[in-house]
Structure 1
């Protein structure tokens, strides 16, 4: 299933901040819509008034069985009514990252950066879904979508700050940080 994140003039999520962390940013837009579909028109072409990012939720990579089970037990689902804040963080990694073998990437991802082990403590307060898009012709390799409550905003900042300090993040050549907010689902 394809997930489409469209920055534009309308959408359920209001953009509060859109910042280029590394490399080129995206066109500022007031809103973000998120849709899921079995098909999507490719290639993904930029717009003068907004942007569209497409990814696919895939199987979990770079994990061992025990880690996968820990993540599944701790992870909260997306779409919780109380999770009125979200972040979309598109990332493109360098050619050097992709030239590494899967085993070498796993070594950096978990053995050195401790991506899974160090982030478990942030679950279930912060829900997340990783979308792969490297092979879809877009400008990014991954789109990470996080949802959380206002009470967990500082926890989310701690998580993102910690991840950006890891060796894994030294391979990031483009990153955009998009923060959005919506009304409580059970309030409407």
Structure 2
């Protein structure tokens, strides 16, 4: 694996304070008060998950260009963040790549996500290839004033056909 692994460690230490947690489906994650993000650290934590950044797996060349032109870097000092650990079910992974891409396109995933750029930054971490309990760890950062736009975007995504394949999802809201 050439991409560095990022570890999310929930416990009593870290720059991000948990302000709200929602368990939506699948196994619940244990409660913790603070979150640290960085390179892998040895030792136990009440909750931890790992992932790595990868290529843009469901993105067309045109969409990639739009993302590069309008996207926002992560860790730019925003006060609000949301971590969404998520997995998709066996039916999703049994689909061929083009079938998954077609669902992604019909769901308008990229179009919906673009509506909040550059106010909301997003970084996707892949855990499935590491044998982690969550396929994806999606990290969002934004200013408090952009939370309503983030919430609207998230509601649209969750109402799409793509979410029929979600088998585990939690939402952890954080503040610096």
Match of 1:24 in 2: 27
User: How far does residue 71 in structure 1 lie from its aligned partner after superposition?
Assistant: 1.1
RMSD: 1.5
Flag structure 1 segments of 5+ consecutive residues without an equivalent.
183-188
> TM-score, length-normalised on structure 2?
0.94
Q: Which runs of 4+ in 1 moved over 3 A?
A: none
Measured in 2, the distance between the counterparts of 1:102 and 1:91 equals 19
SS at match of 2:101: helix
Match of 2:79 in 1: 84
Measured in 1, the distance between the counterparts of 2:135 and 2:121 equals 20
Question: Could you tell which deviates more after superposition, 100-109 or 17-26?
Answer: 17-26
How many correspondences in the alignment?
A: 173
User: How far does residue 36 in structure 1 lie from its aligned partner after superposition?
Assistant: 3.0
Measured in 2, the distance between the counterparts of 1:31 and 1:125 equals 24
SS at match of 1:122: coil
- Mapping of residues 1-188 of structure 1, within 5 Å: 1-36=4-39, 50-81=46-77, 83-110=78-105, 112-182=106-176
Residue 115 of structure 2 contacts residue 153 of structure 2 at CA under 8 Å; is this kept in 1?
Answer: no
Measured in 2, the distance between the counterparts of 1:80 and 1:138 equals 27
Residue 97 of structure 1 contacts residue 105 of structure 1 at CA under 8 Å; is this kept in 2?
Answer: yes
Match of 1:185 in 2: none
Flag structure 2 segments of 5+ consecutive residues without an equivalent.
none
Measured in 2, the distance between the counterparts of 1:8 and 1:134 equals 23
SS at match of 2:132: coil
> TM-score, length-normalised on structure 1?
0.88
